[in-house]
Chains A and B, each alone.
Chain A
Amino acid sequence: MSRLIGLYPGPWRARYAAELRDLLAARPPGLAGRLDLVAGALDAWLHPELVAPGAAEPRPSPRVRLAGLAAIAGGALWLAMAVTLVVVASTGRDADFTVAGWVVLLLLTVAALGATPPGRARVVGAGILVAALLFGVGVVLPWEHKPLLVVPLLLVVFGGLLTITTLRTGLSRPVQVAIVGVGFGLPFPAVIAALAGLLPALASAPIVLLPLLAVYGAAWLFVGGLLLLDGGRRRPGTASSTRPTEVAA
């Protein structure tokens, strides 16, 4: 149950998590109680000013908001590509997603760079540039073993971008790991294995690929939404636990 508490923003957890754990320990919640926890987490994200006075007044930095918008656009385009890919594949036809794929990659790169703290942006940007160049070289070169270069880079780039952007959210580390794990770690290897012919059962039923592909786009929509709402300001453990109405003794 404490995993659901991880959905709450860091400042909120710093202030109320112990009380909520006590309440849940005294009376373990049923389904309605779990839904109440999820709704409460959404409310906590939407109203940061409740636990951190003044937190709602400053707008999120334009840089992080841009990252959020790029993440949402990239995630939505990815979902559209996934649906189109599966529909086209189920009819036995081929479709070219080269342009759309590069646009998605560009949007997700913008999201990751915007979400990167300014002090590290240069290092992260250089890493993304090197990976993108190697990826481009791998795609362009007429080399029979190019999947050996392209596929690992694909994993590094798409996984890395989601990881970098997710780290900017104020979610707890276990929830961040869960987002990257469910959104990328589980589906990507399965999809690549299917496309490489290693999982013939999966490749022969394209509709099975849809949820695998969709969770990656959904993860980006979720992370992008958080960045837009939160602006990446609230980090776990950074909340002040003292408020004007608190009585110290």
Chain B
Amino acid sequence: MARASMGRFAEPALWILVALGRGPAAAATLLVTVRRLDGPVGPATLIGALARLERSELIERSTADRPPMYRLATYSPEASS
């Protein structure tokens, strides 16, 4: 698993994971949810947090949808060992 440093993106990333726990969502929906949970978050910060979560293989991005949908990554014991 590729680890990505979260830095200032840690808190939005946490709330993104919480939001995705309810089901797949597009970036626009996530922005609304994260703003409700975490206060004012800029769109670039949201995208930066999404990129880090994806890099860390904690979430997946579907290219079949327009706009792209994000969802929690499927847990794989082999990948984590």
- Write the residues of chain A forming the contact surface with B, with a CB cutoff of 8 angstroms: 16, 18-20, 22-24, 26, 29, 32-33, 35-37, 39-41, 43-44, 47, 49-51, 53, 241-249
CA distance A213 to B67 in the complex (A): 45
Q: Is the interface of B mostly helix, strand, loop or mixed?
A: mixed
CA distance A240 to B16 in the complex (A): 25
Given known pairs A50-B51, A50-B55, A53-B2, the reply for A37 and B43 (CB within 8 Å) is yes
Pick from A23, A39, A47, A248: contact of B46, CB below 8 A: A23
- Write the residues of chain B forming the contact surface with A, with a CB cutoff of 8 angstroms: 2, 4, 26-28, 31, 40, 42-48, 51-52, 54-55, 57, 59-64, 67-68, 71, 73
Given known pairs A23-B31, A43-B48, A50-B51, the reply for A247 and B62 (CB within 8 Å) is yes
Residues in chain B near residue A244, CB distance under 8 A: 57
Pick from B47, B52, B57, B64: contact of A16, CB below 8 A: B47
CA distance A244 to B59 in the complex (A): 11
- From B63, which residue of chain A is reached at the shortest CB distance? A246
Complex contact B61–A37 (CB within 8 A): no
Complex contact A40–B45 (CB within 8 A): yes
Of A41, A241, A243, chain B has the most CB atoms within 10 Å of the CB of: A243
Of A19, A35, A53, A242, chain B has the most CB atoms within 10 Å of the CB of: A19
Complex contact A247–B63 (CB within 8 A): yes
CA distance A247 to B60 in the complex (A): 7
Complex contact B60–A245 (CB within 8 A): yes
Given known pairs A18-B67, A23-B28, A32-B42, the reply for A245 and B48 (CB within 8 Å) is no
Residues in chain B near residue A24, CB distance under 8 A: 43
Complex contact B43–A249 (CB within 8 A): no
CA distance A50 to B44 in the complex (A): 14
Complex contact A245–B62 (CB within 8 A): no
- From B27, which residue of chain A is reached at the shortest CB distance? A19
Residues in chain B near residue A50, CB distance under 8 A: 4, 48, 51-52, 55
Complex contact A22–B67 (CB within 8 A): yes
- From B51, which residue of chain A is reached at the shortest CB distance? A50
Complex contact A20–B63 (CB within 8 A): no
